[in-house]
Amino acid sequence: MSTDPECIFCRIVAGSIPADIVHESPTTLAFRDLQPQAPVHVLVIPRSHYPNAGELARHEPATAAHLLDAAREIAESEGLLRGYRLVFNTGEQAHQTVFHVHLHLLGGRSMGWPPG
């Protein structure tokens, strides 16, 4: 499994910094975003370190699918019956700030477009 000791999300996976964890599987972990942009804002991450969704899909395609399945399961457990948004920010111009791939799961309010 690929890991980076300098990466904040790798540290959450390792349990060395705390997070409000809402889901765990052998390949994925999900926790609430520290600065929520919606009533439900969860980050779903692979345990392995890859900088973005494309690199994860290239190296661990099954884990990429696990992220989507985990998001479905969390959306159900959070009661997001009316819908939710899934976002992978990739790169500087998309305002990606943490370079360990993470799937934003946002819900609990109406989602306009473009996102604010």
Residues at the interface with ligand AMP (CB under 6 A):
8, 19, 31, 33-35, 43, 89, 95-98
CB-nearer residue toward ligand AMP: 66 or 102:
102
Q: Which amino acid is it at 62?
A: A
State yes or no: is 102 an active-site residue.
yes
Region of residue 90 (phi > 0: left; psi between -120 and 50: alpha; otherwise: beta): beta
Burial class of residue 30 in the structure, from the number of CB atoms within 10 Å of its CB (0-12 exposed, 13-18 middle, 19+ buried): buried
CB-nearer residue toward ligand AMP: 35 or 110:
35
CB atoms within 10 A of CB 76: 10
Please report how close the Cβ of residue 31 comes to ligand AMP at its closest, in angstroms: 6
CB-nearer residue toward ligand AMP: 75 or 103:
103
Please report how close the Cβ of residue 57 comes to ligand AMP at its closest, in angstroms: 17
The catalytically annotated residue of 49, 66, 100, 102 is 102
CA separation for the pair 110, 11 (Å, rounded): 33
Catalytic amino acids?
Answer: 102
